[in-house]
Amino acid sequence: MSWDNFNESGDLKAQVKAYHRFTGYYPESVHADRIYRTRENRAWCKEKGIRISGPPLGRPPASVSKSKKKQALEDERIRNAIEGKFGQGKRRFGLNRVMAKLDNTSGTVIAITFLVMNLSTWWRRVFCVFLCRWGKKIPVFGINITAAYISLKLRQVKLIFNSP
């Protein structure tokens, strides 16, 4: 983590090499922002057999095959999901308001924010198991309750907290 201003496009090769060291193989594709799609990075990815997301440099081709359009759409969907998660971290979890002054404490605040985001996702998935069994009896702490009862109680709690 660095607090200095710099152009991030030079980091692509190092990140892909780190991925290679970690997994033992290069990724099939890299879903990157426009700033990473330089001629040098594109040439390097092509040399390694890595597809880089985004339109090619230069004039758009007159006709594009359906398979290439489908692949580009899928790449954008993956990239949008990643960018959306950062946006959620900024809007919902306060990642854009890190007020710590030291490098160590700022890094800790950022790490805790991502920990809370992961716990929130995990808890939502665990709780969804209860709601997905609509109408069935669910043993919770030795008591058989239904998912409809849980949903009713959640609505009551939501009304209590949303009331003026």
Residue 156: pLDDT band by 50, 70, 90 thresholds?
low
Residue 99: pLDDT band by 50, 70, 90 thresholds?
confident
Which run of H or E residues covers position 137? strand 137-140
**Is the separation of the CB atoms in 138 and 147 below 8 Å?**
yes
Q: Would you mind telling me the total number of residues written for the chain in this entry?
A: 164
Q: What is the pLDDT of residue 150?
A: 55
pLDDT tens for 136-146 read: 555 544 444 45
Task: Share the mean pLDDT of the chain.
Answer: 79
Cα separation, 154 vs 148, whole angstroms:
10
pLDDT cut 90: percent of the chain above it: 20
Q: Which of 82, 13, 88 is nearest to 45 (CA)?
A: 13
pLDDT tens for 70-96 read: 988 898 888 888 888 889 889 988 888
Task: Report domain extents, the chain.
Answer: 1-92
Cα separation, 152 vs 147, whole angstroms:
9
Which run of H or E residues covers position 51? strand 51-52
Q: What is the pLDDT of residue 121?
A: 82
pLDDT tens for 24-63 read: 999 999 988 888 888 999 999 999 999 998 888 888 888 8
Does the pLDDT of residue 164 top 50, yes or no?
Answer: no
* Separation in Å, CA 148 to CA 127, 132, 141, 143: 13, 10, 17, 15
More reliable by pLDDT, 46 or 64: 46
Encoded amino acid at 34, one letter: R
Q: Is the pTM of this model over 0.75?
A: no
